Structure formats: structure tokens, C-alpha cells
Amino acid sequence: MISEFRLHRRVQFYETDTAGVVHFSWYFRYMEEAEHAMWREVGLSIHQPNGAIVWPRVNASCDYHRPLRFEQEFDVVIRIAEITARTIRYGCEVTDGQTTFATGSLTIACASRQPEGPMRSVDIPMDVASRFHVASGAGA
């Protein structure tokens, strides 16, 4: 079981604006990249091309504290903040160990894929839920 995952990255030039500062939209990509790496760490994939279950994002937020710049190294720390019968909420922090650049939250829902029509919310399969647990002190 896992409750937290740390992904180490370096800012790439294409992630920045003309001033060399990371564009705000990239923080959401960083959170999602860390999420996918966490799922791989427990032997799962968030996306099964022909799977019956999908994981739409139902809420995302990010607070920006300091700018990240081109070639700067940083970590994306993602924690399980809450698990309900049908959703997982993550708390995220972008940091270099001393400075916090951003904090955020991402909530995903478990849904069944419908051949025609809308997705339907369903309970998280036990095989998935059993691999994650809420991080201690995770109220983010």
C-alpha cells in the first residue's frame, strides 16, 4: 500500500514562458505525472485503453507560492488525502526541499465507461482501493 509518492523533475524550456518561468498550466501536468507514477509504483495504470473503468478529474486546484524557472530541479510530492467509495483526493506539493513553489489538490472519480451515453459513477474496485491508503496528517 502507498500513501505518498515523490517524483523528481527538472524544468524543461518548453514548460516556460518567455521570461523562463514555468507557465501556470504545467503545475497540473506535474501533479498528474506524479499521480501516474504513483499508480505504476503499485502495479496499476490509471488508463486501460479498453477497460471498463475510467478516472475523470472532477476537481483540481493549485496555489502558486514561488516561480519555478528553466533548468531548476524540483520534486512533486503527491499524497492520498482522502478515499471515499467513489473518489480519490490527492494533496500535492511542488518543492525543492527548502522552498515550496506550489500546493494543490486533485480529485478523481471512478466511473464506468458506457459504449453510448454518459459515464456513470461507480465504486472503486477493491483491487485498486486496497493499494492506497490515506497519508497520516493528510488534510490538504
Element at 127 (helix H, strand E)? helix 126-129
Please count the residues of the chain: 140
What is the Cβ-side half-sphere exposure of residue 8, based on CA atoms within 13 angstroms? 2
- Catalytic residue numbers? 17
Distance CA 8, CA 80 (A): 18
Distance CA 47, CA 110 (A): 11
Distance CA 70, CA 22 (A): 7
* Cβ contact 34:40 at 8 Å: no
